[in-house]
Structure 1
Amino acid sequence: MSIGIFDSGIGGLTVFKEIAKEFPEADIYYLGDTARVPYGNKSKETVIRYSVEAANYLKGFGIEALIVACNTASSYALDVLKENLDIPVIGVVKPGVETALRFTENKKVGVIGTQATIRSNSYLKLLEEKNIQVFQKPCPLFVPLVEEGIVSGEIAELVVKQYIDELVNKGIDTLILGCTHYPLLKDTIKKLYPHLKIVDSSQAVAEHLHRENLHLNGSGKRKIFITDESESFERFKQMLIGNIPLEKIDISQLCTL
């Protein structure tokens, strides 16, 4: 079986890594829309348009399932994609919520994400249905930190504390990393808050795929596409998944679909 994954940039590589590890025989096609990153400060209408374009491009490879590895796109575009595609479409919000429900003991859960993800209340709605007390916080500096490779050290720790101290002071015992960039800051978060249970959306999606019983068999093909040159993408690709070659596509190949 072949599977497509898209994200606005490098964050979705964390999802790619987990799925490649859990399903080594699956054929995986990844699209990082690096020309238009980030999605988190775009309007709902723009995010939906970008998501449909990315999905249509990946569908051209005959994918049999699509993972929306962008929390903003999962929050705004998932229903539209499900209506317009005749293959399974899996976002990152529901798997993250499922994991948080298993982790939390005091039913106080923090959610961090982009402005758009937090504004959508996608996590909050699902968690509150299960009588969970939810504390949300947008972290707009996290994506540029990760894109610049600043994921540890004094600067990273100061920015993390600026955002997460407030949630910890509310008494949360579980923190959902509501953006696929954020797992790259997970070690710093764990260092500062060792008591927190961290929900990594990349791991949650891989676990969700196991529960869906999809037959992810194939030849183990790996293809990665980007829409613009990106030094940070190349750097983190090497760190996370090694020497899989990148193929740059013209942005018009998305926009004309």
Structure 2
Amino acid sequence: MDQRPIGVFDSGLGGLTAVHSLWRILPEEDLIYFGDTARVPYGSRSREAILKYARQDVRFLRSFDLKAILIACGTVTTTSLAALQAENDLPMVGVVEPTCRRAVLMTQNKRVGLIATAASVRSGAYEAALRRLDPEVTVFSRACPLFVPLAEAGRIRRGDVVIETVAREYLTPLKNAGVDTLILGCTHYPLLTDVIGDVMGPGVELVSAGEESAFELKRMLKARELRADERRRGETEFYVSDRVEDFERTASLFLQEDLRHTARRIDIERY
């Protein structure tokens, strides 16, 4: 058994979808979550800027005695995972491979949709993984740059005319393409599951990057004998790089727990 915590990071609130899944899938594990809320979104940045930010995020998390890191960010996974793994002697799990494996299992007509940040779509990482897993799959990709700032602003509910209008604009071409499976390739996007599901309809399976990466982490910890004592209840610490009040308000809504006065602000530029 290994009681050391797991580090989780994302550009902002999106990684909370992975935290929510980890609480359910690995409830015994302690988590250290960092949301880079001062520099969100990453998806519109250059590859060089994303790698710089990701290195700082990892250096902060490694100030704790961690046993693994979950990169709960599609943009970082698609642009920087290989470099981060090469630079660190610590197990790291990203979101692309596990999410694509689930999508290939779920699709019946071999028509898979992908929504992600502009950087993730440009990287081609999801498409490459899907075609490697099943060359017969046809991938329909769409960058959705407004989803992250709207999610960060708490515009995630049915009946919100702004998010519903944006969602229809982004998703209608994918629905018309006949996809039966849609990858939510950014961990912010499951915050919009109800709105996305309404646009796509009941015949389309939604695959969450946060949830699938949590299952992948569980498999990795078991294989390396790094699981914590399953009889205990883990704890989570939250850190952000901007105002804690804004983070706590939206995070409390999503996680359905009162997180007031629990998050701490750190100066990420020191790392």
Match for residue 14 of structure 1? 17
TM-fit CA distance, 1:25: 1.5
Structure 1 stretches of 4+ with a deviation exceeding 3 A read none
Query: Mapping of 1:142-181 within 5 angstroms?
Result: 142-152=147-157, 153=159, 154-181=161-188
Q: Quote the Cα distance in structure 1 between the aligned partners of 2:258 and 2:90.
A: 30
The 8 Å contact of residues 26 and 218 in structure 2, kept in 1 or not, is answered as no
Q: Quote the Cα distance in structure 2 between the aligned partners of 1:210 and 1:234.
A: 27
TM-fit CA distance, 1:94: 0.9
2:198 maps to 1:191: yes
The 8 Å contact of residues 20 and 28 in structure 1, kept in 2 or not, is answered as no
Among 218, 221, 225, the alignment partner of 1:210 is: 218
Q: Which runs of 5+ in 2 are unaligned?
A: none
Change (3 A) 1:230 1:116: farther
The 8 Å contact of residues 111 and 179 in structure 2, kept in 1 or not, is answered as yes
Change (3 A) 1:151 1:7: same
Query: Mapping of 1:43-122 within 5 angstroms?
Result: 43-122=46-125
- SS of 2:17's equivalent in the other structure is helix
- SS of 1:37's equivalent in the other structure is coil
Q: Tell me the C-alpha RMSD between the 2 structures.
A: 1.4
TM-fit CA distance, 1:230: 5.2
Letter of the 1:206 partner, please give it: A
The 8 Å contact of residues 34 and 230 in structure 1, kept in 2 or not, is answered as no
Match for residue 225 of structure 1? 239
Query: Which whole-Å deviations, capped at 9, do the CAs of 1:56-108 have from their partners, x for residues lacking one?
Result: 11011011101111111001110011111111110011111011011101111
Q: Which runs of 5+ in 1 are unaligned?
A: none
Letter of the 2:214 partner, please give it: A
TM-fit CA distance, 1:157: 1.6
Match for residue 235 of structure 1? 249
Q: Quote the Cα distance in structure 2 between the aligned partners of 1:77 and 1:23.
A: 26
Q: Quote the Cα distance in structure 1 between the aligned partners of 2:219 and 2:34.
A: 24
Q: Quote the Cα distance in structure 1 between the aligned partners of 2:40 and 2:216.
A: 26
- SS of 2:216's equivalent in the other structure is helix
Q: Quote the Cα distance in structure 2 between the aligned partners of 1:121 and 1:5.
A: 24
Q: Percent identity?
A: 39
For normalisation by structure 1, the TM-score amounts to: 0.94
